[in-house]
Amino acid sequence: NKQVILKDYVSGFPRESNLYLTTSNIKLKVPEEESGKDAVLVKNLYLSCDPFMRGRMQRDLPPGEPEQSSYSLGSPIVGYGVARVVDSRHSDFKKGDLVWGRTIGWEEYSLITTPEYLFKINHTDDIPLSYYTGILGMPGITAYFCFFDIGSPKEGDRVYVSSASGAVGQLVGQFAKLIGCYVVGSAGSKEKVELLKTKFGFDDAFNYKEEHDLDAALKRYFPEGIDIYFENVGGKMLDAVLLNMRHHGRIALCGMISQYNLEQPESVQNLIAVLYKHIRMEGFSVAEYYDQYSKFLDFVLPCIKEGKIVYVEDITEGLESGPAALIGLFSGRNVGKQVVKVAQE
Ligand code: NDP
């Protein structure tokens, strides 16, 4: 059983050398003992690279990080993925079922003893299975509920999305267009900016790395200000956005990837704008929304089938390619949702 193991706890920017590959033995059968009474043994097909995994790679979790724990040194790292059930003692899953969920180890086969965050995959017609790491999985649920519940959008709103070509961002922009918003996204390369404008239908897009004055850039795209900011990056971008929010604007705080590798998070200079402009800024946690997964599927599956929403993935092949793919999230290597294909379906 090939595995990706955490070698040492990370501080600062993660490196490929923090992870290594090894092989261990595994019995392809759920144990008969008590520990296996609800267990499911799966063959992993796709692994999802997600920014939150960086937090779990450090010894002490980021302050306030809920219901997570650090990875154990010497054990495979764990995240979201898509898998096929090989053996099961759990009444909800049987051999041959396809599943997605967040307890998938970075290895060829995983024994999942508490499959509470495992979902059975029921829709596969004309839909790539890998979509369950993205648009039909955790990032999709995040984009949908964080945008609609926290952003409270309405037709005509001016929406700004950062990290806009990524797993979550590309969906937020498309959801906003569906209800008639004006949408601008930012991303870190020319290729990504082109994708936003041509593939995802954003009204406009810019490369934030080429803007030495983010405030001036936002004023160019939003001369009348921003109604909704979908926040993925934090730091200097948030500060510039605060100067450009409209009265009663909303900030849907999904993530702050620019802060995850810093020893000391940057302080926000312009927070007082929240007070003066009566801005509503609210953090989001996808964990609170899994009970609404079927509502989300009812919305998004027809959108995919009718071609109203498209999804771009960046799939690398083989578990060996996993460490570089995961760490690449923090340098913007991924174009679209970063996935690692582990085995043939
Ligand atoms: P992406 O697919 O967007 O990948 C990460 C991207 O972040 C990179 O490609 C890069 O894009 C950008 N990035 C990396 N480092 C920096 C930096 N220092 N400054 C600015 N941008 C940077 O990831 P996801 O779509 O999966 O996640 C997007 C955000 O949503 C993250 O902050 C994540 O933590 C958050 N999230 C939150 C959830 C929740 O429940 N609250 C659930 C899921 C995700 P570029 O080339 O454009 O710079």
For 138-287, give the CATH class.
alpha beta
CA dihedral 7, 79, 13, 64 (to 10 degrees): -110
| Nearest atom in ligand 1 to 285's CA | 40
In angstroms, how far apart are the furthest CA atoms of the chain?
65
143 Cβ closer than 6 Å to some ligand 1 atom:
no
Task: Kindly report the protein residue whose alpha carbon is nearest to atom 48 of ligand 1.
Answer: 188
- Domain spans, the chain: 2-134+312-341, 138-287
- Reading the chain (345 residues) residue by residue, the pLDDT tens digits are 999 999 999 999 999 999 999 999 999 999 988 888 999 999 999 999 999 999 999 998 877 766 678 999 999 999 999 999 999 999 999 999 999 998 789 999 999 998 888 999 998 888 999 999 999 999 999 999 999 999 999 999 999 999 999 999 999 999 999 999 999 999 999 999 999 999 999 999 999 999 999 999 999 999 999 999 999 999 999 999 999 999 999 999 999 999 999 999 999 999 999 999 999 999 999 999 999 999 999 999 999 999 999 999 999 999 999 999 999 999 999 999 999 999 998
Tokens of residue 172, six digits: 């937020």
Task: Kindly report the protein residue whose alpha carbon is nearest to atom 10 of ligand 1.
Answer: 332
C-alpha span between 172 and 157 (Å, rounded): 13
CA dihedral 205, 140, 132, 76 (to 10 degrees): 90
pLDDT of 288 reads 94
C-alpha span between 299 and 144 (Å, rounded): 10
Q: For this complex, say whether ipTM is above 0.90.
A: yes
Q: Which pTM was predicted?
A: 0.97
pLDDT of 89 reads 95
Task: Kindly report the protein residue whose alpha carbon is nearest to atom 8 of ligand 1.
Answer: 332
Domain 2-134+312-341 in CATH 3.90.180.10? yes
Please list, in sequence order, all residues whose beta carbon lies within 8 angstroms of the beta carbon of residue 31, skipping any fewer than 6 positions away. Answer: 39, 111
pLDDT of 231 reads 98
pLDDT of 67 reads 62
129 Cβ closer than 6 Å to some ligand 1 atom:
no
